[in-house]
Amino acid sequence: MVYCDQESYPTSIRRQKKGFGAAVGIHPKKVQFFPQSKFEELGNLLRLNTVVALREISLNRCAPESTWKLQEEILIKVLQLSMPIRQVILHMRDAADQHCGEVGARCLQIMRANVAPTQRIHLYCFTGTVEQVVSWLETFPKSYFGVTGTVKEFDNFQKAALRKIPKGHLLLETDTPYFRARQASASTPAFIGEVALEVSRIRGETVKEVLGFTSANTRILYQM
């Protein structure tokens, strides 16, 4: 469960079945609607032992340019609520650059200045380049790169980046309900195998191998 809209914050979060957890945060597109009073509420939610991550935060250049400065200000304030025991899940979007080079570099700069190098980071829906893989791992050795169904549309630079990600740092995602497979009306976790199949083709590994090490990485990252 992901609570990234302040109007949907729960008053409590019940313990989930083993292997499941909740994440709380503020979506970059919603920063202009995030009142100061909500920071305390977000901080209280992050202290719950049923919450496993701070999500979804970062920078989104698809939002109006008038909000970009506020996005950075809110990101810095929200990162002050982060803690090593909670993973930070980053959402990076650039309206013009499919590799998210500029926004990725700025986000890395902000992260470097505001969290410890030991912070565990999940780069959600990663579409970057080899240079970005190297930069994030050099700065934050506990970075993990999530790949969704968009892998089917990767260009040669993105495929090279996917092959560069070490086995111990790759994750698979479906980003339910988005990036639906085939003619499905919505994506579900049931389509994770299709993501694994495409990843295996690009990396030159078997589907079984990809599912094996990415599942292990997920358990390690989220301590499940």
Which residue positions form the known binding site for a divalent metal cation? Answer: 56, 91, 175
Cα angle: 98, vertex 104, 110; to 5 degrees:
160
Which DSSP category does 16 fall into? Answer: P
Q: Say how far apart CA 200 and CA 9 lie, in whole Å.
A: 38
Q: Say how far apart CA 3 and CA 45 lie, in whole Å.
A: 10
Q: Say how far apart CA 171 and CA 151 lie, in whole Å.
A: 12
What are the binding residues?
56, 91, 175
Q: What tokens were used for 188?
A: 């579900």
Q: Is 146 helix (H, G, I), strand (E, B) or coil?
A: strand
